Amino acid sequence: MCSIFGIFGLQPGDNVAALRRQALACSQRQRHRGPDWSGVHADERAILVHERLAIVDPAGGAQPLRSTDGALVLAVNGEIYNHQALRADLRAPYAFATASDCEVINALYREHADDPAGPSTWLERLNGIFAFALWDRTSGRAIIARDPIGVVPLYWGHDREGRLRVASEMKALVDSCADVAQFPPGHWYDSATGTLTRYYARPWREHDAVAGHTPSLPALRDAFEAAVHRQLMTDVPYGVLLSGGLDSSLVAAVAARYARHRIEDGDRSEAWWPRLHSFAIGLAGSPDLAAAAIAAEALGTVHHGFEYTFEEGLDALPDVIRHIETFDVTTIRASTPMFLLARRIKAMGVKMVLSGEGSDEIFGGYLYFHKAPDARQFHEELVRKLDALHNYDCLRANKAMMAWGVEPRVPFLDRAFLDVAMDIDAAHKMIERGSDGWQRMEKGLLRAAFDGALPDEILWRQKEQFSDGVGYGWIDGLKAHAETQVSDRELAAAASRFPHAPPQTKEAYLYRSLFEQAFPTPAAAATVPGGKSIACSSPAAIAWDAAFANAADPSGRAVAGVHNAATA
């Protein structure tokens, strides 16, 4: 994974050399995402800069990727897991210059140049995580696109001269674009027409389309195992994040099965790094460190459990907020230990990790789903959570890890697995419903599908938010620290100082203040939707239980009567 930066719409008389220098300076702000190499393309109408983190074809594959005739120029941040199948399906030969998984985008664009549906046709076929800018020099056309869920970040805006700018992180645009905003997931933009088009729309978004669909546990398991297998595509050392919870443990269990063989040549040769390494972090005595050790021993991974102190986490807060570009409370709480873990992983020479994000949004793993009154509302809330994921868990995992040049991959959000898992009537995902054995706790369906794959104390461990699992002293300490930093008077006047999404607690006020120091413009604040991800504050949750309306704490422990007390 990498970073991209682009300027499109240059006009005659523009100083291309000066804009090129400016583009390099802007791109440098996100070079932590791609420390391995920098590439630049500049012509009289467009500039593209790419900062590379080499994962596939590290010896080649430098970007921007150009067609042999020089007409197409492509900068991509991401991975295309099915690139080999897409290459094989091309109707006409294409002169590939590299073994990069991303170069197939150029080939697909050229092959479907005359398709009435435009890039929607071939974007729908990509299985991967990506954000890209493709420049067609012949037609003077730029195509911008982002993956279906928004696993990979992408921002855009216009400078004072009206030129379109795109970047992987907001920090590269905020000083030059007063209208900086997130580019929406599952969409593509055509500069030739000025249109933004949604290409990703699945039937399972509507409950009526899945009502009555019963689950096949073997099919669910097979689909997830295939997703993990696909995402082991790498030519560099990798590992798995292992908190000891259900989701990360399942990822690790499946990855351990395939770790000895090289995915890129069809599992025919031994992997270059055949031992699977797993990583966990927490305060001393945290629930996650203890559970991760149990899971790692059962799976036979080379495990690394790191401890951090509260003071180390507190010291990192300004850097964390600058990197993740949000003031959302839950996201910051969870990003900080992940940020510290990424630094340790980077120091060990690992460049890619698999992670468990997305499972809770697919199976209703958040504890407030216990209150869902019926399958329709349960399903609708799952879709809403998936739609918002790019602002929260995907943002956290990507930016916290990429702050140190470590690429996170998320098999639960693999688009093929999503089509299987979301095409199930939510009645089978609900808690305390029916007589099926897997319906006794959250994500029971997933647990049943992997019966025997993990120790029971891991397979049936109750949901812990990551910021809880690293040690309850982390959240409690953050609240106590905020009490000493923010006065009652400041909090009472929060709406005046912060008109957009004013903070409701002293902890939220502290984070908002740190965000303002890094990003002082109103446009930057407007990229953060609502400013809080309190699960219980969703309209659906409040409708399910009015008590959630007054929940000011996003911690999973705040769901009264659901979370079981745990000892740390």
Residue 192 C-beta-side C-alpha neighbours within 13 Å: 12
Contact between 72 and 134 (Cβ < 8 Å)? yes
Interatomic CA distance for residues 409 and 240, integer angstroms:
9
Distance of CA 353 to the CA centre of its chain: 12
Q: Which amino acid is at 406?
A: V
Contact between 348 and 324 (Cβ < 8 Å)? no
CATH architecture for segment(s) 3-201: 4-Layer Sandwich (3.60)
pLDDT at 535: 42
Strand order in the sheet with 155-158: 37-42, 46-52, 3-8, 164-167, 155-158, 181-182
The reply to whether 3-201 and 205-475 are identical in fold is no
Contact between 243 and 292 (Cβ < 8 Å)? yes
Catalytic annotation, pick one of 2, 177, 394, 536: 2
Q: Is 2 a catalytic residue?
A: yes
Where do we find the tokens 């996170």? 408
CATH architecture for segment(s) 205-475: 3-Layer(aba) Sandwich (3.40)
Decide which of 544 and 549 is more confident.
Answer: 544
- Flag the least confident range among 52-66, 161-175, 192-206, 428-442: 428-442
Alpha helices in 4-70 (DSSP H): 16-28
- Flag the least confident range among 244-248, 265-269, 528-532: 528-532
Closest residue by Cα to residue 129 from 111, 145, 113 = 145
pLDDT at 511: 98
Write out 365-393 in H/E/C secondary structure.
CCHHHHHCCCHHHHHHHHHHHHHHHHHCH
pLDDT at 558: 52
pLDDT at 308: 96
Q: Is 70 left (phi over 0), alpha (psi -120 to 50) or beta?
A: left
Give me the percent of the chain exceeding a pLDDT of 70.
92
pLDDT (mean) for 230-241: 93
CB contact set of 568 (below 8 Å; sequence gap of 6+): 283, 285, 286, 287, 471, 472, 473
Strand order in the sheet with 128-136: 65-66, 72-80, 128-136, 141-146, 187-190, 195-198
pLDDT at 457: 86
Sketch the domain layout of the chain as residue ranges: 3-201, 205-475
pLDDT digits (tens, 9 = 90+) for 311-333: 999 999 999 999 999 999 999 99
pLDDT digits (tens, 9 = 90+) for 252-274: 999 999 988 877 788 888 877 77
Q: Is the pLDDT of residue 310 over 90?
A: yes
Report phi then psi at 171, rounded to 5.
-60, -25
pLDDT at 550: 62
